[in-house]
């Protein structure tokens, strides 16, 4: 049995898909158990390689491993030492993880801060002689759900306030896209429902356009899989768009797209904002680091509209080639 730790969120799990598939290919015939928050189980199923989820809300509330020692434990969570020690407590036959002397783990590759999250975990597997293709990001189609198809999804929220593009600009974008014939809906968590409702009100959209807090993870995946377009910040819904090949525009800041962005060779996914930490970062932090980061406030609505046009043009071109 293979025990994999990735007790994080939607985007984190989506970026680990190539590594999870590499483990399945390189260590066949073994049950693959993912230690992750229970609410991620629908997405874990859509990877096509996870056999079951061990509910693990995080490192602070780590459960004891309930079964016999796993043959292999894999740390896709972080650099350690807490995550290393959590897996070591399960007494695995082998621990695949980044090098961390503090945790007593001297094998594995060194950690690289300046590395894309997808490639980070693929490199870990490569170091141990296992396959992993960084481009293998596709997710299985979700089961049918009672969500609209062909809509344009705007996702104005983020758990990190600094990563939220201003709400008034999302409203302006929604007005522009609606005038162009897009059917716009707004997604988000239950905590972001008020934000989504405010954007919808300012954009002149009906209350029914607010889906924030009304979709579970499986329904959100179905919505994105059949959407016309997704516009969001650097958050989980952007990674769902990549996994389903849905045209997207992703707004980055302060974390650079080079660390978390979609593959640069896929033109239907456009990136705006920070490609590196901006010089204004120090001023923002000196002022208390409150509100949207300046790398995002620098993005204007017309830039996003232009990026939408580019993403949709790429979809049309790829469709023409396929035909």
Q: What is the pLDDT of residues 151-209, one digit of tens each?
A: 999 999 999 999 999 999 999 999 999 999 999 999 999 999 999 999 999 999 999 99
**pLDDT tens series, the chain, 323 aa:** 999 999 999 999 999 999 999 999 999 999 999 999 999 999 999 999 999 999 999 887 566 678 899 999 999 999 999 999 999 999 999 999 999 999 999 999 999 999 999 999 999 999 999 999 999 999 999 998 999 999 999 999 999 999 999 999 999 999 999 999 999 999 999 999 999 999 999 999 999 999 999 999 999 999 999 999 999 999 999 999 999 999 999 999 888 999 999 999 999 999 998 654 445 666 667 666 677 888 999 999 999 999 999 999 999 998 766 65
Distance between CA atoms of 298 and 305, rounded to whole angstroms?
A: 15
pLDDT value at position 318? 84
CA quadruple 34, 42, 263, 136: dihedral sign: positive
Top CATH class, 2-128: alpha beta
pLDDT value at position 276? 46
* Structure token pair of residue 291: 């509100």
Q: How does strand 32-36 pair with strand 52-55?
A: parallel
- Average per-residue pLDDT for the chain: 93
What is the fold of 152-319?
A: Rossmann fold (3.40.50)
The burial of 148, by beta-carbon neighbours within 10 Å (0-12 exposed, 13-18 middle, 19 or more buried), is given as: middle
The model carries a pTM of 0.94
pLDDT value at position 281? 67
User: What value does the CA radius of gyration of the chain take, rounded to a whole number of Å?
Assistant: 20
pLDDT value at position 278? 45
pLDDT value at position 287? 65
pLDDT value at position 58? 85
Whether the domain at 2-128 and the domain at 152-319 fall into the same CATH topology: yes
* Cβ atoms of residues 217 and 42 within 8 Å: yes
Q: Where are the domains of the chain?
A: 2-128, 152-319
């Amino acid at each position: 049995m293979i025990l994999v730790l990735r007790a994080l969120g939607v985007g984190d799990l989506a970026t680990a898909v190539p590594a999870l598939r590499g483990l399945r290919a390189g260590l066949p015939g073994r049950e693959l158990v993912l230690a992750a928050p229970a609410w991620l189980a629908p997405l874990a199923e859509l990877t096509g390689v996870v056999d079951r989820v061990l509910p693990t809300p995080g490192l602070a509330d780590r459960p004891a491993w309930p079964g016999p020692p796993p043959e292999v434990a894999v740390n896709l969570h972080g650099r350690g030492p807490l995550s290393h020690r959590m897996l070591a407590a399960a007494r695995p036959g082998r621990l695949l993880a980044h090098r961390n002397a503090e945790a007593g783990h001297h094998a594995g590759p060194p950690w690289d801060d300046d590395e894309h999250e997808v490639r980070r975990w693929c490199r870990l597997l490569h170091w141990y002689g296992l396959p992993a293709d960084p481009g293998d990001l596709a997710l299985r189609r979700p089961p049918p759900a009672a969500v609209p198809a062909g809509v344009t999804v705007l996702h104005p929220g983020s758990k990190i306030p600094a990563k939220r593009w201003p709400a008034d600009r999302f409203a302006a974008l929604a007005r522009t896209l609606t005038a162009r014939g897009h059917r716009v809906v707004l997604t988000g968590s239950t905590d972001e429902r008020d934000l989504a409702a405010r954007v919808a009100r300012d954009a002149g959209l009906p209350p029914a356009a607010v889906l924030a807090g009304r979709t579970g993870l499986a329904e959100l995946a179905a919505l994105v899989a059949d959407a016309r377009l997704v516009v969001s910040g650097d958050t989980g819904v952007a990674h769902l768009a990549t996994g389903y090949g849905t045209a997207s525009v992703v707004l980055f800041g302060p974390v650079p797209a080079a660390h978390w962005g979609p593959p640069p060779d896929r033109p239907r996914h456009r990136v705006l904002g920070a490609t590196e930490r901006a010089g204004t970062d120090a001023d923002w932090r000196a002022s208390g680091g409150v509100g949207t980061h300046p790398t995002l406030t620098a993005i204007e609505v017309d830039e996003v509209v232009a990026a939408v046009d580019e993403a949709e043009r790429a979809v049309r071109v790829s469709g023409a080639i396929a035909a």
